[in-house]
Structure 1
Amino acid sequence: MAKYFDVHPENPQRRTIGQVADVVRDGGLIVYPTDSCYALGCRLGDGAGLERIRAIRRLDDRHHFTLVCRDFAQLGQFVRMDNTAFRAIKAATPGSYTFILPASKEAPRRLLHPKRKTVGVRIPEHVAAQALLAELGEPLMSSTLLLPGEEEPLTYGWEIKERLDHVVDAVLDSGDCGLEPTTVVDFSEGAPELVRRGAGDPTPFE
């Protein structure tokens, strides 16, 4: 049965955030809010956690998982960027974007696209997500909470707890955080390629 934590969206209780971080550190799989929609997350390098996410979402090996980072400095440890990508991504973060970039040696191997050796990264503009990332001191390996056969992500914490009670270890509820996933931009070939239009304004990358 999943633990349920309810926090204020603008002023999340530090003690509660610490309890959720402990679940992650202990190898748990969590649901947490972002600036686009709720996401599934596990500890950096947790292979079992990734397989649990794959099972919940019925994902194949081609799926790009995302490293959700606290800030630009942390993001930069896991990817390689040229000057153009650096400036464009820095200007757009934090925000509702996922960027696909060539992975650095620090990126977990199991997160990489099997052929392209790329990884998705993002920095959410959400107070509770930022508080959790700060408490952890490292990124979360993550994927949008979009269940098989459904067109929209789950967005109510109580419903998430009800439906995923036996397959996740904790739900961090900070209220409705939207239905639209991130805008995805691929910088892996140099010039930006808009892969998916979502919550982030795509204009700078068109």
Structure 2
Amino acid sequence: MAEFIKIYNENPNQKEIDKVVKILKKGGLVIYPTDTVYGLGCDISNTKALERIAQIKGVKIDKAKFSFICDSLSHLSDYVKQIDTATFKILKRALPGPYTFILPGNSSLPKIFKKKKTVGIRIPDNNIIRTLVAHLGNPIVSTSIRDDDEILEYTTDPELIYEKWRSKVDVVVNGGYGDNTASTIIDLTEDVPNVIREGKGSLDVL
């Protein structure tokens, strides 16, 4: 049964952050708030945890479209090939914010992602998840938790999320009500930015 831990976005409590980080380091799965919808994730370096997420989502790990949540742009070069000035300016304008940027991956990607040529990078405008990533010391591999309801794609109430997911994950972070609009996905691997999905983020950043 998952733990249900309340953390406030304005001022994340260090004791609660440490508790969640400990679970992540042991290979636990965590549901957490972002600046868009609630996400499901694990430590990028934990293969078993990644396989658990792929199984929950019903996808093969090498086909999975997971994004990586970073706490700042300073760690991009760990997983992304060198990017040009124009691309960096877009990232700087947009992040932290409700965007997923597709960028060319480099050879330092974890073994499980080695076949991937690109990576989706997220730096949400949410103190809870960015603090978790900063204290974990690794990006969190992330996927949004969709609802089975055709009308309501994303559950926004953390208590309802906990009820539904408590037997599948190790901790649900209650960071207040989430949004029900997913991030805007923009591919920056070509010369011209390509909008894959228009979501919460405005296209004015391009």
By how many angstroms is 1:127 displaced? 1.3
For 2:102, the equivalent position in structure 1 comes to 100
8 Å CA contact retained: 1:157, 1:174: yes
Q: Choose the corresponding residue for 1:91, options 89, 93, 104.
A: 93
Query: Identity, % of aligned pairs?
Result: 34
For 1:190, the equivalent position in structure 2 comes to 191
> Structure 2: which 5+ residue stretches go unaligned?
none
For 1:174, the equivalent position in structure 2 comes to 175
> Structure 1: which 5+ residue stretches go unaligned?
none
By how many angstroms is 1:172 displaced? 0.7
8 Å CA contact retained: 1:3, 1:170: yes
8 Å CA contact retained: 2:79, 2:106: yes
C-alpha change, 1:109 and 1:190, in structure 2 (3 Å) is farther
Per mean C-alpha deviation after superposition, the further-off stretch among 14-23 and 2-11 is: 2-11
| SS of match in other structure, 2:202 | coil
Q: Choose the corresponding residue for 1:111, options 113, 126, 136.
A: 113
Once residues 3 and 140 of structure 2 are traced to their aligned partners in structure 1, the CA distance between those partners, rounded to angstroms, is 18
For 2:22, the equivalent position in structure 1 comes to 22
TM-score by length of 2: 0.91
By how many angstroms is 1:147 displaced? 4.0
8 Å CA contact retained: 1:65, 1:111: no
TM-score by length of 1: 0.91
Q: How much is the aligned-residue C-alpha RMSD, in angstroms?
A: 1.7
| SS of match in other structure, 1:76 | helix
Number of equivalent positions: 203
Q: Which amino acid aligns with 1:95?
A: G
For 2:42, the equivalent position in structure 1 comes to 42
8 Å CA contact retained: 1:57, 1:146: no
Q: Which amino acid aligns with 2:169?
A: V
C-alpha change, 1:50 and 1:147, in structure 2 (3 Å) is farther
For 2:161, the equivalent position in structure 1 comes to 160
Q: Which amino acid aligns with 1:122?
A: R
By how many angstroms is 1:28 displaced? 0.3
For 2:8, the equivalent position in structure 1 comes to 8
